[in-house]
Amino acid sequence: MDEQLAHLPGALLPWYEENRRDLPWRKDKDPYHIWVSEIMLQQTRVEAVKGYYARFLEALPSVQTLADCDEERMNFLMEETGWIQDMLDHHDFYIIDAKVDEIARALGLSDLGMDRDVTELSGGQRTKILLGKLLLEKPDTVC
C-alpha cells in the first residue's frame, strides 16, 4: 500500500494545478480569514460559502471585530447561513450523490463507469443515462 501511495503527490500536484478552482480564501494569507472559510466549509458546500464568505468578512474583518460583535448582530449575520442551509436541505442537496449512485446502480450504469464520455457509449447505454437523468429530475415519472 505504501508503494501505491508513494507516487500520489507527484500525480496529484499537477492535477491540482490544472483543475483547482478559483476560490477567494485560497488567495488570502490572513489566518483569521482562512479560519472563517474553514468553519463555513465545514457547515455547507463550497458554492454556498463563496458569496457569504466575502459578506461575512466585510462585516467582521478581524478577530477583534468578531470578539466585539454583540449577540444581536451575530444572530443577524448567521441568519443568512441558516437560510442557505435550509434551502440546501429543502432541495435534497446533501443526498443527491446518494440518489445518483442509487439510480446508476439500478440501471447498471455503475458498471459502465460513471466518468466515461457519452460518445463512447452505445445507444442503449445512452438511453439508460437519459432515463437516469429523467428519474433524478422528476422522480414521480415512474411509479
Query: Among 52-61, 62-71, 131-140, which is the least confidently predicted range?
Result: 131-140
Number of structural domains in the chain: 2
Q: Which domain holds residue 40?
A: 2-91
Q: Say if residue 50 is in the same domain as residue 119.
A: no
Exposure b/e, 41-70, CB count within 10 A at least 16 = b: eeebeeebbbebbeebbeebeeeeebeeee
Q: Given this model, what pLDDT does residue 135 score?
A: 79
pLDDT in the model for residue 61? 93
Checking if the pLDDT of 143 tops 70, the result is no
pLDDT tens readout for residues 12-51: 778 888 888 888 888 888 999 998 888 888 877 788 788 8
pTM of the model: 0.51
Identify the pLDDT of residue 140: 73
* Burial of 32 per CB tally in 10 Å (0-12, 13-18, 19+): middle
User: What single DSSP character describes residue 115?
Assistant: T
Q: Tens of pLDDT along 40-57?
A: 888 777 887 888 888 889
How many CA atoms, within 13 angstroms, populate the side-chain half-sphere of residue 3? 0
- Catalytic option among 3, 18, 38, 120: 38
Tell me, yes or no, whether 22 and 86 share the same domain. yes
Shared-domain flag, residues 75 and 136: no
Q: Which residue's C-alpha cell is 508503494?
A: 3
pLDDT at 124 exceeding the cut of 90: no
Catalytic residue flag (residue 47): no
Over range 118-136, report the average pLDDT: 80
Do 10 and 60 fall into the same domain?
A: yes
**Which CATH number belongs to the domain containing residue 67 in this structure?**
1.10.340.30
Rounded to 10°, the helix 31-43/71-90 angle is 40
Structure confidence at residue 39 (pLDDT): 85
**Closest CA relative to residue 53, chosen from 23, 73, 31:** 23
The verdict on 55 and 14 lying in the same domain is yes
pLDDT score, position 97: 75
pLDDT of residue 64: 93
pLDDT digits (tens, 9 = 90+) for 65-94: 989 989 888 888 877 766 666 776 776 766
Distance CA 33, CA 62 (A): 8
Quote the pLDDT of residue 57: 92
